Structure 1
């Protein structure tokens, strides 16, 4: 238990824990570890208060924040259902909901990361010095977001938009009640190795259009972004990223230029080659997930193949650097 609380790691076979069989041991131990995590999180945050000013109606606020992206990427008859899906998917971590959120997590590694996001948001000490300094995490169709979001000072950072953009390639159309189209099972088909480029471009473009109205003003804003705060992420080719944004700021509907730009995958692109080499045989899972191997037990109690579980994306504090988990 101490190992899990201190590092997020644990023996995925749960050797030595009581139970009638592997499934029983897994379920009992997972519950005990999550209970211990909740207790430790509450202990560490005692006396700390979240200072961020959060909107009263977060659902309506999230709809307003994400509507430009949805309106630009999808046809009008799909706007309402996709916006509702995104708004429900955004979960800000607060003192009122943190206990329930940690207890509800399927993956112990996710619960540990979410606990650290919350601890950092109120100024409490992290569970470990090795904990990644992140302010947002997306898993499948849920975006966990720190209230630090409301204190962001980088004019080109919006990690809520970044995380919401990842939902488009994680979420199937049928899941939200839309008809599947030919060759389009997900809301958007984004090449695995271009997903971070897509999300970063959505993030930056959302900020550019909020800062500037005309084409010249948007080009000037992009120039400032290029000089000051490009993504510090080795999965993103800066030249390609700026080319996509350059097309977007010149277009009438720049949002459409972003998925179109990332679909032009070159097989000789070093970023793509490095990504595919890193993830060969793992089309939907990032290898860091093997840290605790906590996905290996999934088929035992859900009947789903492990490969059907979607990736997780995390956002580093400050909106400058992000790392997948």
Structure 2
């Protein structure tokens, strides 16, 4: 008896946080690695497009139909792989919700990912983007990922360096796009050996507001959750995928050029000598924050968040994103790059 089920003409609107309508020609739910071996050996899989889908929080279906196979990662499990006096190494299924993993670590006083609280999506999607927020990234705790290559039909474990993590990207986003991340291994720190990361100014502000002078893993997580709720609309209420664009990385000559336009331009210097300009500042500087067009708009809370105002189609959100990109380039000479994966 077959272990996988081929669901035909499936509405994927419930599976993307933009809440845009689209239909997948086929959908297969992957609950273990055996499902993947069966999948690649089936004639129905050959010569068809395929898309790996986690929580749908960093994806935009641009068309009314995806003419291929959507592979829904539903591999579960959080297990302690090893432990010493200071650290715990966890092996986590790719289909586990990221917020569930953060909650597990917070509840067990394990530090390292509390600054990534309330980020939507699944654990399997996290290495693709090398998710990051408030001065932390997945790569800070990443040990390895277990992948299944849909092209070769082989499974293997890739240590962190092979994943090539970088700012909002990795080898999985750039060149190795045909693999499903089945499990992720992270190394976190026991609370008594851990120093929380409150270097990001907004975290300190919220902790002060909450009357917390000695922050803990739990209180930092709570502060991050409060910050995110204030800045990013709940996708259950208004469709969005969080930050739509990446921050802009530039050299010193471009930094000085932008500063000549506005001396108050915020910059952050990277260790390699390049500079980061917040994309939200650029978009707001060009007058886009809070603007609305029929079914789509830019959030009034955060200029990086494009929103579905009710019944938007994916193509309408793409249209808005392209308008913003062209205008920022025309006004400031900088090209924005989408962080969200646009599926056409």
TM-score of the superposition, structure 1-length normalised?
0.27
The structure in which a higher percent of residues are helix is 1
Higher strand share: 2
Higher relative contact order (CA closer than 8 Å, sequence separation 6+): 1
